[in-house]
Structure 1
Amino acid sequence: MIRDDIKAAQVTAMKAGDKDARAAISLIQAAIKNRDIEVRTGSAPADDDALVVEVLQKMVKQRRESIAMYEQGGRPELAAAEAREVAVIERFLPQQMSEAETTAAIESIKADLSATGMKDMGRVMAELKARHAANLDMSKASGLVKAALS
């Protein structure tokens, strides 16, 4: 499970004295704990990895937005710190689908749903998220779905 990998990485970072990794992993653990509190199931959900991946993807997205703002504001040192955090967080994410794989998945879903135009974009996006949420950046996929349906 991804949670176990994160805990093991925390111990490794502490033993190695890697302060950047240790701080980023602590942030990851805090975000996961907050998400657990939001869910309040009392026990781990059936697909715990999906919950953890969702939290990690959200963290990466937030940091990429911060990097863009820091670069616009002329703060490269802060952007570099955020980029280091992104690198640590991405170590725990599953391998992302390539653009070609994403396009193939979209075409498959488009055929399955008999989607023909932009009016079907919501259905296609929902099915894409249901099938491939853990391995796909949905913001990038949105543009590819638009292109496939237009």
Structure 2
Amino acid sequence: MASAQTDAGKPPFPPFTLETAQIKVKAAQDMWNTRDPHKVKNGYTSDSIWRNRDTFIRGTDEIVEFLTKKWERENGYRLRKELFSFTENKIAVQFWYEFYDTTGQWWRCYGLEDWTFAEDGRMRKRQMSGNDVKISEQERWYKDGVDVNTVDISEKHW
């Protein structure tokens, strides 16, 4: 059974520990930072359900369509996720990402997500709530060459 899960799923598998939940969060962060919808979809079940702000999505085809449009609008996208809480098969994260729009205006999105996982380690449900804040070039955290994991995000930004 474990072998079949490894071949078909995305380790680590539930039930999560603090260590495996943190691994799962950073793996998701890294996958989203590829900005490749076809790679990202592999972390989700074929019948995955999402709420992303005011958009409701079902299945990996809709995930690819949504992310393709997202990353056409959100240029220079860089994301950081941090573990907020977890249970056996659920993880909550806080996140911050930056992007610039078609006019060149920089934005930072602050938000929370809650995730529910299938037994094979792929995400079955994702709910995202986020708020976009205009920032200047000087206020950016994730400039070229900066590892998103090394940025000191102070309490002011929690």
Same fold (TM over 0.5): no
For this structure pair, what is the TM-score category when the shorter chain's length is used for normalisation? Answer: under 0.3
TM-score (norm 1): 0.28
